[in-house]
């Protein structure tokens, strides 16, 4: 019965704004605070259940990397689950000399690999490297005597924590969890400890886990392999050039020192946003956050990447060989998230790809030409990013034919007069999805952090809805003509070895 009532109320809420141009406010009292060390705290009380949803957003991702340390943001995320000097250890002082010895051995591995790159190594260099890595593996086994496996998970779950997880993207790294509201101090202790003094134990074995992830998502996966090469061809100067996972040759050469230094620089209070949503009381939360996070020192961080992507000035094409069914990626450079053109891109994305009546669905799936497609703007928001489509043709349909259909679909936005009904449907679909997303507390926490980080306003949704509602057909034609042109495009084919297109 309660479930039926909830959905009835939800439908009533949607019906109100679906037929109104007015901005419906999300009924929240959101407060914003800044500690002396630069830590930003956003609190959104919702006292319907005794649960608090936590998000910590560190403003660091693959965009902050450079050649030699690509993927290190993702590696740092993995290492944040390895404990501290107090968590996940029974005798930290006994661990220290073992970790030092591991690092000394790996320095020798690095020197041998450098010599190998210069082609001036003895013939048994591979054997020497293998033996050194085996010794490191043995030391890590010895270290496990003094460490407790998955202690962060065990310790937090034992007091009711759930969903202790994280993810890394191009512009940020997120850490999520939710817990009973009477465990707020336990949360503050765990998270401040991870920010202040993480211990990167099991470093070399965890690096192998990341390497395995690279193989699974990139090297041995046709979609990941294609996307990495496609992205590298479209972006040549900006650090969006590589995927979040990084390049294999950088992953295998991470040192614990490099990751520590990266953490110290970017995992600083002045580079973090804490969001608490749920059964949280502002005064109590701020008191605990100041107690546990307030003494952590800020770092000097250059937040802005000055390298910009030069104008492309010519269509790019690549062919990638992989033993898998043919597929296509085609994309364009686009504006950053806080540009006036971004809401127009969101409407274009909806018109092209949302639902069976969308342009690409009708032209690709409805026509029987393709078995699958998706359209994406990536997750690049801080700087100008990409807008791309991926498609797999049905048997007997060439990639060239799929490419022609996609081009015609994009070009149609430049000329056709979209009906008022379709434009209104797109606007209401986008706004409806925003409200639906905000109804989930974890998603709401992500929204609030991103709104403040990218737009400087936790209530940015109000402005965004107004921007969406005032978009005209001419705005869509203008943006399509500006960005969807050959000189701003990259096209990637994935074909089997020896297969001709």
pLDDT in tens, 383-430: 999 999 999 999 999 999 999 999 999 999 998 888 999 999 999 999
Higher-confidence residue: 159 or 187? 187
Same domain, 257 and 200: yes
Query: What residues make up the domain containing 104?
Result: 90-146
Question: Which among 258, 334, 277 has a CA at the least distance from the CA of 57?
Answer: 277
Query: Measuring CA to CA, how many Å separate 301 from each of 256, 263, 271, 309, 378?
Result: 21, 12, 8, 22, 25
393 Cβ neighbours under 8 A, 6+ residues apart:
326, 327, 328, 369, 370, 371, 399, 401, 402
Same domain, 48 and 196: yes
Same domain, 213 and 359: no
Same domain, 64 and 197: yes
426 inside domain: yes
pLDDT digits (tens, 9 = 90+) for 451-490: 999 999 999 999 999 999 999 999 999 999 999 999 999 9
416 Cβ neighbours under 8 A, 6+ residues apart:
none
Low-confidence winner among 90-104, 194-208, 301-315, 369-383 (lowest mean pLDDT): 301-315
Residue 89 is given by DSSP the state B
Residue 6 has pLDDT above 80, yes or no: no
Same domain, 404 and 373: yes
d(C-alpha 237, C-alpha 303), whole Å:
18
305 inside domain: no
301 inside domain: no
Q: How confident is the model at residue 19 (pLDDT cuts 50, 70, 90)?
A: very low
Q: Please report the sign of the dihedral spanned by the C-alpha atoms of residue 362, residue 366, residue 367, residue 368.
A: positive
Number of domains in the chain: 3
Domain boundary among 127, 146, 165: 146
d(C-alpha 210, C-alpha 218), whole Å:
12
Same domain, 136 and 269: no
Six-digit token string for 275:
């969001």
Same domain, 332 and 428: yes
What pLDDT score was predicted for residue 1? 39
SS3 379: coil
Mean pLDDT, residues 206-227 = 97
**Inter-residue contact 194 to 86 (CB < 8 Å):** no
d(C-alpha 8, C-alpha 12), whole Å:
6
65 inside domain: yes
User: Model-level pTM?
Assistant: 0.92
pLDDT digits (tens, 9 = 90+) for 318-368: 999 999 999 999 999 999 999 999 999 999 999 999 999 999 999 999 999
Residue 116 has pLDDT above 60, yes or no: yes
Same domain, 336 and 389: yes
Residue 10 has pLDDT above 90, yes or no: no
Same domain, 455 and 387: yes
What pLDDT score was predicted for residue 195? 97
CATH code (residue 395): 3.30.830.10
Domain boundary among 262, 293, 324: 293
Residue 135 has pLDDT above 90, yes or no: yes
Same domain, 185 and 224: yes
Whole-number percent of the chain with pLDDT over 90 = 85
Same domain, 268 and 245: yes
Same domain, 360 and 375: yes
pLDDT digits (tens, 9 = 90+) for 288-297: 999 999 999 9
Domain boundary among 146, 170, 187: 146
d(C-alpha 80, C-alpha 58), whole Å:
12
């Amino acid at each position: 019965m309660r479930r039926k009532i909830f959905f009835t109320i939800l439908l009533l809420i949607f019906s109100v704004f679906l037929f109104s141009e007015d901005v419906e406010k999300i009924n929240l009292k959101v407060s914003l605070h800044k500690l002396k060390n630069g830590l930003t705290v956003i609190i959104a009380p919702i006292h319907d259940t005794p649960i608090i949803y936590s998000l910590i957003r560190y403003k660091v991702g693959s965009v902050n990397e450079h050649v030699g340390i690509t993927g290190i943001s993702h590696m740092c995320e993995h290492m944040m689950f390895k404990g501290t000097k107090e968590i996940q250890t029974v005798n930290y002082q006994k661990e220290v000399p073992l970790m030092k010895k591991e690092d000394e051995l790996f320095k020798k591995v690095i020197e041998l690999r450098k010599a190998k790159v210069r082609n001036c190594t003895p013939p048994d260099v591979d054997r020497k490297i293998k033996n050194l890595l085996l010794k490191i593996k043995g030391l890590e086994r010895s270290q496990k005597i003094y460490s407790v496996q998955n202690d962060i998970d065990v310790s937090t779950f034992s007091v009711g924590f759930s969903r202790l997880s994280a993810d890394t993207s191009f512009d940020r790294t997120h850490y999520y969890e939710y817990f009973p509201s009477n465990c707020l101090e336990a949360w503050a202790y765990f998270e401040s400890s991870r920010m202040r003094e993480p211990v990167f134990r099991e470093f070399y074995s965890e690096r192998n886990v990341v390497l395995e992830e690279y193989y699974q998502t990139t090297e041995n996966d046709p979609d990941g392999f294609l996307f990495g090469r496609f992205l590298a061809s479209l972006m040549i100067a900006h650090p969006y050039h590589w995927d979040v996972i990084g390049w294999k040759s950088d992953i295998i050469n991470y040192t614990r020192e490099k990751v520590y230094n990266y953490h110290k620089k970017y995992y600083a209070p002045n580079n973090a946003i804490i969001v608490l949503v749920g059964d949280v009381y502002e005064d109590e939360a701020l008191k605990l956050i100041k107690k546990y996070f307030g003494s952590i020192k800020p770092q000097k961080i250059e937040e802005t990447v000055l390298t910009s992507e030069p104008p492309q000035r010519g269509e790019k094409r690549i062919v990638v060989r992989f033993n898998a069914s043919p597929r296509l990626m085609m994309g364009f450079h686009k504006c950053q998230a806080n540009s006036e053109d971004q809401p127009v891109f969101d409407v274009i994305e909806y018109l092209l790809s949302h639902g069976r009546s969308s342009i690409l669905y009708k032209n690709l799936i409805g026509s029987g030409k393709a078995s699958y497609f998706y359209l994406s703007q990536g997750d690049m928001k801080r700087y100008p990013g990409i807008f791309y489509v991926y498609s797999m043709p049905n048997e007997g349909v060439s990639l060239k034919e799929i490419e022609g259909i996609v081009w015609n679909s994009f070009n149609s936005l430049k000329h056709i007069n979209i009906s008022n009904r379709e434009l209104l449907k797109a606007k209401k679909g986008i706004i409806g999805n925003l409200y639906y997303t905000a109804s989930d507390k974890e998603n709401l926490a992500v929204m609030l952090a991103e709104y403040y980080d990218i737009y400087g306003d936790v209530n940015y949704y109000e402005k965004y809805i107004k921007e969406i509602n005032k978009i005209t057909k001419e705005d869509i034609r203008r943006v399509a003509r500006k960005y969807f042109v050959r000189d701003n495009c990259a096209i990637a084919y994935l074909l089997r070895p020896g297969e001709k297109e």
